[in-house]
Amino acid sequence: MKKFFWIVGLFAWMQTLRAADSVYVQNPQIPILIDRTDNVLFRIRIPDATKGDVLNRLTIRFGNEDKLSEVKAVRLFYAGTEAPTKGRSHFAPVTYVSSHNIRNTRSANPSYSVRQDEVTTVANTLTLKTRQPMVKGINYFWVSVEMDRNTSLLSKLTPMVTEAVINDKPAVIAGEQAAVRRMGIGVRHAGDDGSAAYRIPGLVTTNEGTLLGVYDVRYNNSADLQEHVDVGLSRSTDKGQTWEPMRMAMSFGETDGLPSGQNGVGDPSILVDERTNTVWVVAAWTHGMGNARAWTNSMPGMTPDETAQLMMVKSTDDGRTWSEPINITSQVKDPSWCFLLQGPGRGITMRDGTLVFPIQFIDSVRVPHAGIMYSKDRGKTWHIHQPARTNTTESQVVEVEPGVLMLNMRDNRGGSRAVSITRDLGKSWTEHSSNRGALPESICMASLISVKAKDNVTGKDLLLFSNPNTTKGRHHITIKASLDGGVTWLPAHQVLLDEEEGWGYSCLSMIDRETVGIFYESSVAHMTFQAVKIKDLIR
């Protein structure tokens, strides 16, 4: 009997030893922001420590091709323990660097973790040390990385935790560490220029090679119109490495004596007229509505007191300055519709010079429809014909053949994108073969651009697409490429940028023949910009 109890006790002790000596490591596939002091490189969970145990050191190895001269510092933090009511599979008790807390969007929140060590001369292999006594049970650590401000957007890091030592003995390392970490820029963070939130990205590249990014400036909170919202614009002349101070493209202030919170304008879409380099922005202006959501409070009619107004501004100096707003509501809105607005993101110039924006409207019985509006006179007049599909909203349009437009739509049915084709500028529509099947979605905005063979390094016509690559939630922001006009989107032609939860909207634009840019709502900043080589997509 004594032998039995001794064996049981030994088994229990061995199980405890194994658990205590296990270090679970997460290397999340999220952007590393060049403008941040701290970026999460690894999250670490030690599940069953004994009180007083010490994680003596961690050894990290970087890839042979990682440009370590761009790494300014690597830091180790201790983040305490887990709440008793929480599960045991988390890798962090809190968000260490917030994308929403205006005080901690660029560096570690000092109240959530305690710095243990810092290495500022980074070699391919480095060691982080700590003497922090652990508490009984679950303990959390994390590793941050700070990049030099001149780090290239095209740089990557491929780090791995190769050794962990607890109580001077090697521990077992578990977890996924296969991520290739890409650089990014937080173009807009919560709190920048006094605004609580930034949402709804649009992005274009002008004929001069300038990147223009538009977005909602949501001053009070992250809520949709009606609220205090203006259309902001950020401009880059060096392929997205740096961005000029924010400009205001559209704002209605206290029009007609109503407060700015009842004069919001937002959900912008941006277009470059490739014939003239005139840049157009279209947005919805909501007047009144008592700070309720415009989606349900914009009514039939034509006047600002009844219904949202479709407003445009233009720039003839490469996005530096913007015209006064132009109201085109009377040109394109059916008085019976409750709400007409653009499809946020971007529009296009067709090969024959026609300008096309995606649009959406809510009809008289409050069913939404996606479609297009177009101009054949350089933006003086605009026209809308028939919608592409019922119960669809935010969409993006591309020209897949001369005169043939593809509309890729957010579909309220959920599960996958709706895709339709028109050959007559929206007078009639047919379903594309990829409709409701080829592209998963979680009912969210997405981006689609067409890149002609002569304009990219592959020498082939491409369609590029980005969205949360999931049917639930808004995570796994992924860029995909199609080489057959959108019929198939092969896994080999995809790059995952951000696996964690965010608001999920994105917009693509070619930076040059070799590189595509993406401006999106990531898990790490409200407006994030990243650059991806086409050769990383087409392998």
pLDDT digits (tens, 9 = 90+) for 406-439: 999 999 999 999 999 999 999 999 999 999 999 9
CATH of 184-537 given 3.40.50.2300, 2.120.10.10, 2.130.10.30, 3.10.20.30? 2.120.10.10
Mean pLDDT of the chain: 96
Each domain of the chain, given as residue ranges in start order, spans 22-179, 184-537
Q: Active site includes 394?
A: yes
> CATH assignment of 22-179?
2.60.40.1290
pLDDT value at residue 86: 80
Is 141's pLDDT higher than 90? yes
pLDDT value at residue 85: 85
Q: Are 361 and 387 in contact (CB under 8 A)?
A: yes
Q: Which of 82, 394, 399, 441 is catalytic?
A: 394
Would you give the DSSP letter of residue 262?
G
- pLDDT-derived band at 6, boundaries 50, 70, 90: very low
Please write the tens of the pLDDT for every residue from 513-528. 999 999 999 999 999 9
Q: Give how far Cα 361 sits from Cα of 75, 332, 334, 373, Å.
A: 50, 11, 10, 11
Please write the tens of the pLDDT for every residue from 11-36. 444 444 444 489 999 999 999 999 99
Amino acid at 208: E
Helical ranges in 477-524 per DSSP H: none
pLDDT value at residue 12: 44
The percent of residues above 90 in pLDDT, for the chain, comes to: 93
Q: Are 251 and 231 in contact (CB under 8 A)?
A: yes
Average pLDDT over residues 74-83: 97
pLDDT value at residue 137: 95
Q: Give the sign of the dihedral formed by CA 514, CA 498, CA 201, CA 361.
A: positive
